[in-house]
Structure 1
Amino acid sequence: MQTDFYVDEWRVGQAMAGLDEGTAVYLAPTQQELATFLFALGGRRHELRNLNLHESLVPLGWAGQPIAYFLRADDAAGLAHLQQVWGDAAEISTTLRGFTQLTIASAPATPPPLAHFGAEIALVEVQTAAHDNQLQVTLTWQATAVPTADYTAFIHLLDEQGEIVAQLDRPPAGYPTADWRPNERIRDTFTLPLISYTTLRTGFYHPHTLQPLGVYEE
């Protein structure tokens, strides 16, 4: 039986296997063939998270632990996104052929939760910024357990009468909630029209039943 073997992927898998215990390991984009990476990782294969690094989302690993992102060498947009998020904290290596490795020595501490959405997800930070007639709402979540579904996140902007004047409902971009692990943090930015509002409401709901997990308002 002939087995395909990818040398570059094997070397990346070996580099992953050599990382310190507790390192959050992210591989982007989603790979059609993961067998070589997983074989090289051996007993640590469960630590690898494979995702599409969307321009709005970045996983932030675990507080106080290192993070290693592995991207295809031609993924300039993904690398630029990570550099924008981490700034000077990011160390970049291009020694792995075909891939770029970006490492964070220690992820920052997690702020106290602002809200809990069921027993599975906590909201730990909300940031808003206005750019070019758009409102960017950046949410940071922390999984408090393994989410049992691929939930949809929502942001609603309400006026003084409590009526919705703008909204955006979508799953976290490129990294479904069912793939999150306990205490892992994820940051995602939602872009809405810049419009006068009084209250920002956010939360999650089940995509099939529409049952909400919980709601936070500010």
Structure 2
Amino acid sequence: MLGNIIRYLDSVVARDPAPRSRWEVLLYPGVWALFWHRIAHALFQADLFFLARVVNHLARFLTAIDIHPGAQIGRNFFIDHGFTVIGETAVIGDNVTIYQCVTLGGSNPTNGVGGKRHPTLLDNVIVGSGAQIIGPVTIGRRARIGASAVVTEDVPEGATMIGLKARSTLVKAETWAKEFMPYGTPCKEPCEPTGGAQRVEDLEQQVALLRAQVEELISERQHAARENERW
């Protein structure tokens, strides 16, 4: 038991440069939210739904993190800072990192039956701050969800998603192979698909052409006005 706790704390230290010791990590709200969730989830699985909810509400009051007792969470899950919401049917794999203000939200089932309505995050996923992942989508292993991205469709393994609605970016294999990418957002890699620079250049050329045409029309009108004045 103690060994598992130490391994978990070490996994947090490996992903966050801020703490100077394991003792600091024990003060993190995300760590305590996970602790309370383990208890609430055990009660939920034992069909003690009301007690599970009581523990859930206590944890939310103490940590500002709302994890439904029914959510399934793997090993070494880390919520940095907090203010996160995780829905009932969410499934989270091992070594997943979530930053502040993230929602793993549900979609409204068209048949009126609850069922699977929240996301599934596979192993080693990183979700940046403010991201919203909605519906029964699957986020592939080692995928990165950038800050404030909105994801409503499945994400392939190793992809980096950014934007509203989130779109995939092409990240170099060296970046994809990194053991850990802080905040799930590449800082030095392009944030547009290949060809984005060419697209900007094409648009600039079109603007220059339109500007030249406008100036030509203005010149023609001025010339015509001067001719009319002569007559």
Q: TM-score, normalised by structure 2?
A: 0.23
More helix by share: 2
Q: Which has the larger radius of gyration?
A: 2
Q: TM-score, normalised by structure 1?
A: 0.24
More strand by share: 1
